[in-house]
Structure 1
Amino acid sequence: MSFNNLDQLYRQVIMDHYKNPRNRGELDQEDKLIVNMNNPTCGDRIQLQLQVEDEKITDAKFTGEGCSISMSSASMMTDAIKGLSVDEAVRMSHIFSEMMQGDDYDEDNLELGDIEALQGVSKFPARIKCATLAWKAMEKGLKEEDQTKH
């Protein structure tokens, strides 16, 4: 597949997640983890809600507003981390961060699925914060959750 066709496919995936976000809304559970983050540079904001049981992410939802990159990334991330252990989710976040920096990442041990559509963002440094906002919220929430247990 040529680069232009691949680029077009990735744009379609991003726009699909933006126009039809997965996991948009709020969790019903009372013991959910809630993290609010924003990107003051461009105005993106997100509230991420996670349900963690026995070190496993059983559900994830988000609300917020922002550009297509930040909202698509939140949609993709919440889809990808459901069912993962906390450690697997953090590892995926680190791999995503490497991908955003344009670094080589270990894709063999972890299936990224739609998330790979965001790899082109690495060519636009100003947009990296947009793409990583939801991921940083997830890491922050899981870190705070871990600290309250110890």
Structure 2
Amino acid sequence: MSFDNLDQLYRQVIMDHYKNPRNKGAIEDGSVTIDMNNPTCGDRIHLTMNVEDGIVTDAKFDGEGCSISMSSASMMTQAIKGKDIKTALRLSNVFSDIMLGKDYPDDMDLGDIEALQGVAKFPARIKCATLSWKAMEKGLQNEK
């Protein structure tokens, strides 16, 4: 597959998550609730998660922002559901590395998250992509 075709596919994945977000909403009585915003561009996120016995059993988000921010939140909530806290935090660290243009470990299946690799080429958009991940990190650090 050519680079242009791959880039187009990634854009389609991002737009699909933006137009049809997964896990949008809030968990009533969620065990973890985090609100964060990016004052630079106005993105904001309200993240709720249920954590039981060290496992993220559910995760939902609400908020407003650009396609990168909202699609990243959709992908992140999909990726961490069913994962233990350590794995979710490792995934967040790997995602941060990807935003810095680094390769990710071969043992890490990123699924749709891989589509966000191109954001690394646009430093101003990295904070958009990482907002929900930073919220998740903050919430799970308190659960450890």
| TM-score, with structure 1 as normaliser | 0.94
Residue matched to 2:141: 143
Q: For 1:80 and 1:144, how far apart are their aligned partners in 2?
A: 20
Residue matched to 2:12: 12
Q: For 1:42 and 1:18, how far apart are their aligned partners in 2?
A: 17
Q: For 1:14 and 1:21, how far apart are their aligned partners in 2?
A: 10
Map 1:68-79; keep pairs closer than 5 Å: 68-79=67-78
Q: Deviations over 1:14-65 (max 9, x none)?
A: 000000000000112x252000000000000001001000000000000000
Q: For 1:78 and 1:5, how far apart are their aligned partners in 2?
A: 27
Q: For 1:124 and 1:66, how far apart are their aligned partners in 2?
A: 17
For the pair 1:61 / 2:60, whether they are aligned, the reply is: yes
For the pair 1:47 / 2:46, whether they are aligned, the reply is: yes
TM-align CA RMSD: 0.7
Give the C-alpha shift of residue 103 in structure 1: 1.3
Asked if the contact 2:43/2:64 (under 8 Å) is kept, the reply is yes
| TM-score, with structure 2 as normaliser | 0.98
Q: For 2:30 and 2:96, how far apart are their aligned partners in 1?
A: 28
Residue matched to 1:133: 131
Q: Of 115, 120, 123, which residue of structure 2 is paired with 1:122? A: 120
The total of aligned residue pairs comes to 144
Q: 1:120 to 1:42 in 2, by over 3 A?
A: same
Residue matched to 1:87: 86
Q: For 1:99 and 1:31, how far apart are their aligned partners in 2?
A: 29
Unpaired runs of at least 5, structure 2? none
Asked if the contact 2:21/2:70 (under 8 Å) is kept, the reply is yes
Q: For 1:145 and 1:56, how far apart are their aligned partners in 2?
A: 10
Give the C-alpha shift of residue 145 in structure 1: 2.2
Q: For 1:20 and 1:32, how far apart are their aligned partners in 2?
A: 25
Asked if the contact 2:68/2:128 (under 8 Å) is kept, the reply is yes
